[in-house]
Chain A
């Protein structure tokens, strides 16, 4: 699977789960590796690519780290939108 396609699938999963459960990086990797039959390392690389450009972001709350879809505030602060 092309990286871009895999990343779209990751994003779709993140949107589906938004507000339902705080997802750790590992949760996302596990779910998408199952869904796409890609190797976990491939999913991890694609996920990291999204975090590097601000399409996804790390967050912290409830005593644990998680991965989220960035808020507009975050994107503005990082200079990714105006």
Chain B
């Protein structure tokens, strides 16, 4: 069968083909919006026109079958117009208010989860994990499913002091936004990699491999035409594995995940913040990682109880102090919590004023 003629460097179709007439008419002229429920909102334009949005959860991995189901709903209730959010949810763009209730009813019947708008949890940004990544040391999708099942009410209805952005990264490459999330899970290695010397000789560039190490732990090994790793310097980042795959960083029985907290990206009130270490390690416990899920629920509950209205997790912790965060959550403080890498000296306490451990 003859294929159509390819075109190169055309880029994506222009967005204006895909926006509903109400957006075209009121483009850039929106006046305000109101959150109507955990998963619905209305945007009102200066002209008085209104656009209703229904947000539904997606597991990020979508089959074409489910995408078609979403498309059918969009055709039925919003003239085929829909969009996705940066956090992988789907949004139905409804111009006709009378179609809202029937759409919500059908979404419920079809077991879609509507939510994620306002001071709530709006899905978990995450990575490919064991589903499709060579460097994963946990499964992102499984963790996301287990966590979201547990905190489901905070997606659909229940409110928090402010929005809480969750993320899961299946290794320290962090293809998700773990480094600036309110609460996030990142998979970590804890052992020096194993070197398959014969393969290193065959497939790797030795100088590039040596240069890839941030702690200068890798040295040449002329005897094996390979490299050696100084075990005392290695901090298991796995960058050498990316550059030279025969340096195997995976140790399934010793790999697992850490939990970091307190990051944010918006500049509202306080500057954007990096997430910081809360819990250094949990073993991988597929299929549902119960200890990780319980730990996140605990942090979330303590935040919900103690933060002031509009405070993000990181703002709350900075107000009460990190030592108080460990008091309130009951999380054990360990050697791993004390930074000994690039930003270490900025993190040591230089004041005699602090709160005691209880």
- Residues of A bordering B, CB below 8 Å: 21-22, 61-63
Contact = CB atoms under 8 A, between A and B. Distances in A.
Interface string B126-139: 00000000000000
Contacts of B204: 62
A20 to B, nearest CB: 9
Contacts of B205: 21-22, 62
Contacts of B239: 63
B242 interface: yes
7 contacts: A21-B205, A61-B203, A62-B242, A62-B244, A63-B212, A63-B242, A63-B243
Contacts of B221: none
Interface string B204-221: 110010001000000000
Across chains A and B, which 9 residue pairs bring their CB atoms closest together, nearest first? A63-B242, A62-B243, A63-B243, A62-B208, A22-B205, A62-B244, A62-B205, A21-B205, A62-B204
Contacts of B212: 63
A62 B209 CA distance: 9
A45 to B, nearest CB: 15
A62 B212 CA distance: 10
Interface in B243-277: 243-244
Contacts of A21: 205
B237 to A, nearest CB: 13
A5 B212 CA distance: 37
Contacts of A22: 205, 208
Contacts of A61: 203
A5 B208 CA distance: 32
Nearest to B204: A62
